[in-house]
């Protein structure tokens, strides 16, 4: 009798464990806070986008979405962290164009932008901008090319070695047959300060941080790097209007670790797309020169795969080396 009672007790305990497991498995996603990792410092455009989206995502999915900045090593520290996180949908990444440039820059990376991630959606795109000190002679792209041909070695600033800004200008140099000397800065803020101060006369930078300086007249705009003119600066021509076929964009996308369940990716995709197209988000991003652009997960993967081969030839041509 005692053995029978023990058997019943063991069976009951097992049933409780199984029931608990099934209940846990049936918990709707997300059942706990979700972390969105930004692999760059607070205050930058990537951080701004993440925080705007996190607030709306939290309201839509009735769960907290927390933005965590894990910066360093050109964004690779935070990127690698997400790549090696548990693929359960509770750790996400805001990836940018730098992530598809990185394989051309670093001999060894801790993660692969395609193999180690599950795409969710593209979020936004926008151009870089070529700006200059008001005293600089050229006022447009053609004049800059003519000036550079007459003054080889003229310095230009960017936010750093191997950035989309740096490589965009290197592509311009190749297409136009000009020689400009790169002066890399540790971030766009320092570069802006030195161009405003006249230490360097021309730069290629992100559009958002230079807008206040364009409005105040402390900088002047020469051209946009995108494939079309920007609504925020409708009279400013693109580089491609002078050098046909040229276009570079900064882009922002949401991804999860590879192996994240398809149903979780589907739910996140729906939420990110709906939230990104919220009129408030669209207006806030438009004000800093970005256009909301969403995709399916498959389209994002194709977009990234198409971006990867562009960078190695430019890195090689420019002789860029990052240890």
* Percentage of residues of the chain with pLDDT beyond 70: 92
| Choice between 40 and 155, residue whose per-residue pLDDT is larger | 155
Across 137-161, average pLDDT: 97
- What integer pLDDT is reported at residue 186 of this predicted model? 85
Backbone angle region of 28, left / alpha / beta, with phi > 0 → left and psi within -120 to 50 → alpha: beta
- What integer pLDDT is reported at residue 138 of this predicted model? 98
Buried b (16+ CB within 10 A) or exposed e, 57-72: bbeebebebebebbbe
- What integer pLDDT is reported at residue 20 of this predicted model? 45
* 3: pLDDT strictly greater than 70: no
Across 156-180, average pLDDT: 95
- What integer pLDDT is reported at residue 322 of this predicted model? 77
* 16: pLDDT strictly greater than 70: no
Radius of gyration of the chain (CA): 24
CA distance 227 to 207: 14
Q: Which of 99, 123, 101 is nearest to 113 (CA)?
A: 99
* 9: pLDDT strictly greater than 70: no
Across 59-67, average pLDDT: 97
**3-state SS class at 68:** strand
Across 296-307, average pLDDT: 98
Q: Residue 95: which H helix or E strand, with range?
A: strand 91-96
- What integer pLDDT is reported at residue 188 of this predicted model? 87
* Percentage of residues of the chain with pLDDT beyond 90: 84
Given pLDDT bands bounded at 50, 70 and 90, which one contains residue 289? very high
Give 173-230 pLDDT, tens digit per residue. Answer: 999 999 999 999 988 889 999 999 999 999 999 999 999 999 999 999 999 999 999 9
Give 221-253 pLDDT, tens digit per residue. Answer: 999 999 999 999 999 999 999 999 999 999 999
- What integer pLDDT is reported at residue 173 of this predicted model? 97
* 2: pLDDT strictly greater than 60: no
- What integer pLDDT is reported at residue 27 of this predicted model? 83
- What integer pLDDT is reported at residue 323 of this predicted model? 64
* DSSP sequence for 1-23: -HHHHHHHHHHHHHHHHHHHHHH
β-strands 91-96, 34-38 pairing: parallel
Q: Which of 165, 23, 39, 12 is nearest to 93 (CA)?
A: 39
- What integer pLDDT is reported at residue 19 of this predicted model? 44
* 53: pLDDT strictly greater than 90: yes
Given pLDDT bands bounded at 50, 70 and 90, which one contains residue 17? very low
């Amino acid at each position: 009798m005692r053995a029978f009672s023990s058997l019943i007790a063991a069976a009951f305990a097992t049933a409780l464990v199984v029931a608990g497991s099934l209940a846990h498995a049936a918990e709707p996603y997300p059942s706990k806070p979700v972390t969105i990792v930004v692999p760059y410092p607070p205050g930058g455009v990537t951080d701004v986008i993440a925080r705007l989206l996190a607030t709306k995502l939290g309201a839509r999915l009735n769960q907290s979405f927390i933005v965590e900045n894990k910066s360093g090593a050109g964004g690779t520290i935070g990127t690698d962290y997400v790549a090696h996180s548990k693929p359960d949908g509770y750790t996400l990444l805001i990836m940018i164009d730098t992530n598809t440039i990185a394989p051309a820059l670093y001999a060894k990376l801790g993660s692969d932008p395609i193999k180690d991630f599950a795409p969710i959606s593209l979020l936004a795109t926008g151009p870089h901008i070529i700006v200059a000190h008001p005293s600089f002679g050229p006022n447009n792209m053609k004049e800059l090319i003519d000036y550079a041909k007459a003054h080889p070695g003229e310095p230009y600033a960017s936010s750093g070695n191997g950035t989309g800004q740096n490589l965009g200008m290197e592509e311009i140099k190749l297409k136009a047959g000009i020689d400009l000397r790169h002066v890399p800065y540790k971030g766009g803020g320092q570069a802006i300060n030195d161009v405003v101060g006249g230490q360097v006369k021309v730069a290629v930078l992100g559009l958002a941080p230079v807008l206040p300086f364009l409005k105040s007249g402390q900088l002047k705009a020469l051209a946009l790097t995108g494939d079309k003119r920007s609504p925020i600066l409708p009279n400013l021509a693109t580089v491609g209007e002078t050098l046909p076929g040229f276009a570079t964009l900064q882009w922002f996308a949401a991804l999860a670790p590879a192996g994240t369940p398809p149903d979780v990716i589907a739910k996140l995709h729906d939420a990110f797309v709906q939230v990104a197209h919220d009129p408030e988000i669209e207006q806030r991003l438009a004000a800093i020169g970005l256009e909301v652009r969403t995709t399916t997960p498959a389209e994002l993967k194709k977009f990234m795969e198409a971006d990867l081969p562009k960078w190695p030839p430019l890195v090689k041509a420019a002789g860029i080396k990052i240890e």
